[in-house]
Amino acid sequence: MLACADLVTAQKPYPAGIVDLPGAISAQNPIGDISNHPWQNTNVDRRRVRTVWAGEPPMKDPFKKPNVKPCKNRDLMIPDYSALSRQRALILAAALVSWSAITLGANTAQAQSPSPPPYPKGVWAPFGPYQIIPPDLVNNMGIVGLNISEDWSDINPSPGVYDWSALDDEIAQAEAAGFKINLVINNASDKTPQWLLDSLPAGQKIDLIDPASNHSTFCGPITTAFYWNPVFHQARLDLIAAAGARYSNHRAINGFMASFANHHSNDWNIQDTVGVIACPPCPPPIPGYSCGHTTVDQVQQWLDAGWTEQAMLQVGKDICDAAAAAFPNQNIKLPIGVTNSILGATDPGHTNGTQTTLCRDIEDYVYGNASLGIPPRPYANRFFMQRNSVTADWGDGMQYDTFTPGFDSGRYIKYMIRAHGHPNPPWTIPGQAGLQMSDSATEGPNNGCRLDGGPNGPCGPTCDPVCVMQASLAVSLTYGVSYIEIFQDDAVKPAFYPMIRAATIAMGGTARR
């Protein structure tokens, strides 16, 4: 039995610092739970419902790098022009084939691409850059695979030049230890290569103040390219194509992470803070950074920059298509989430959007929507959506078999995961979804019991790591997913080995030997 406590929705304390909010707000009606929004940040007040509760630290990055990097072998930095050209041709050919299939009325079975090896079911862990795989991670036989990651700015140091040395080393280590691999290239806005930012005119990028106090850039202006800028967008497509040319035939790589609405990390997270950020006192510790209480309206910044839901949707379509074409032998994974409802609007007045509009539109594009006359993409049978914000108090996923939340609720994302995992009609492929923990159970006593949903979560204020890990795995299993991703410091904890192995087996996976 995995759970050590009843999985019930925790009673959270009154969210600290909320002002100027419409309607009645109380601890019983806090408007949204901790996992419903991507802007979880204790430093943002006013005009937005805060979704981090009093005393809780901000989100931890599961792929956080060590401060010191060893020198890379720069001899391995080679221009991939010829490979890139071939890969662009493959992408174009795949697009033409899919367009032809749609035009000719091909049925779903004919449109599907050949299935790659099934994505290994079970528990996965991250393996960050520039590291040696910890022996305790290798010894955890319940971990079936590793998310191996590298940042775009490190891989692509100049136009047309790609340095694969770090990834090559990490992949070799993982394969030697018997792990399967999901390739994660962090193409987030804040990982954009400097040469690319410098090449863009001032009118094609904006400075967005970083509201996350756990970042080294907290209250600093993050220069952010417009996602739909042709040069920026093509550079991300080229990165995917170059990665596919190098790794798509690797026998140990089972998946590739596709991300397009991501400011920081590979997760779905658009910078859309509206309110007051409590920056450090003036004068700022770093010249050029904001200080004191700083008012921001990043939604309006995006609108002024020309944001439209249609433009962002096209970016997502292109990224998904490019990933599928570049990695025909792998499963494609896409983190999903919510976006400010104003940014989800499709009308000129920005009034008809919801938090899930963009996410639902990309779902329709990939999997198809018969009621709207949208056919599935050829790779729909190997495409997985995942949510990266599980907490122990998420609630039983089976509730969504008979209950559909509103489109403007963050809970609709949970519904989507359960619908693709179980599956529920109209979906027919079981387990075509995944989940990732919001934080580490091991660090719970130091991070406000984040993974337990706060000090009032299922495991109580002591936040016992064993209980939190058990409860989080148990609630994740109720969503019918094929894989669960946990933090590395949990994956290396011997006390967690039995429950991790049990979770892998419960999902239909096989423990490593």
Total structural domains in the chain? 1
Least Cα distance to 299 among 310, 289, 288, 309 occurs for: 309
CB 256 within 8 Å of CB 324? no
Q: Report whether 356 contacts 305 (CB < 8 A).
A: no
pLDDT at site 117? 87
pLDDT for 131 equals: 80
Is residue 48, in this structure, part of any structural domain at all?
Answer: no
CB 151 within 8 A of CB 192: no
Question: How, if at all, do strands 483-485 and 253-257 pair?
Answer: unpaired
Whole-number Å distance between alpha carbons of 375 and 104 = 12
Tell whether 463 is covered by a domain.
yes
pLDDT per residue, tens digit, the chain (513 aa), is 443 333 333 333 333 332 233 333 333 333 333 333 333 333 333 333 333 333 334 444 444 443 333 333 333 333 333 333 334 433 333 333 333 333 323 333 334 566 788 999 999 999 976 689 999 999 999 999 999 999 999 999 999 999 999 999 999 999 999 999 999 999 999 999 999 999 999 999 999 999 988 788 999 999 999 999 999 999 999 999 999 999 999 999 999 999 999 998 999 999 999 999 999 999 999 999 999 999 999 999 999 999 999 999 999 999 999 999 999 999 999 999 999 999 999 999 999 999 999 999 999 999 999 999 999 999 999 999 999 999 999 999 999 999 999 999 999 999 999 999 999 999 999 999 999 999 999 999 988 999 999 999 999 999 999 999 999 999 999 999 999 999 999 999 999 999 999 999 999 999 999
Query: Is 165 within a domain?
Result: yes
Residue 408 sits in which domain range?
A: 80-106+124-200+228-270+309-506
Q: Is residue 303 part of a domain?
A: no
Q: What DSSP string runs through 453-488?
A: TSTTSTTTTTT-HHHHHHHHHHHHHTTT-SEEE--H
Cα separation, 442 vs 228, whole angstroms: 40
The whole-number pLDDT of residue 379 equals 97
Evaluate whether residue 381 is within a structural domain.
Answer: yes
| Amino acid letter, 368 | G
In a domain, 334, yes or no: yes
pLDDT of residue 113: 63
Decide if 26 is inside a domain. no
**8 within a domain of the structure (yes/no):** no
In terms of Cβ atoms closer than 10 Å to its own Cβ (0-12, 13-18, 19+), residue 283 is: exposed
Write down the pLDDT at residue 193: 98
d(Cα 326, Cα 90) in Å, to the nearest integer? 7
CB 433 within 8 Å of CB 424: no
Looking up residue 357, the CATH number of its domain turns out to be: 3.20.20.80
Buried b (16+ CB within 10 A) or exposed e, 463-476: bbbebbbbbbbbbb
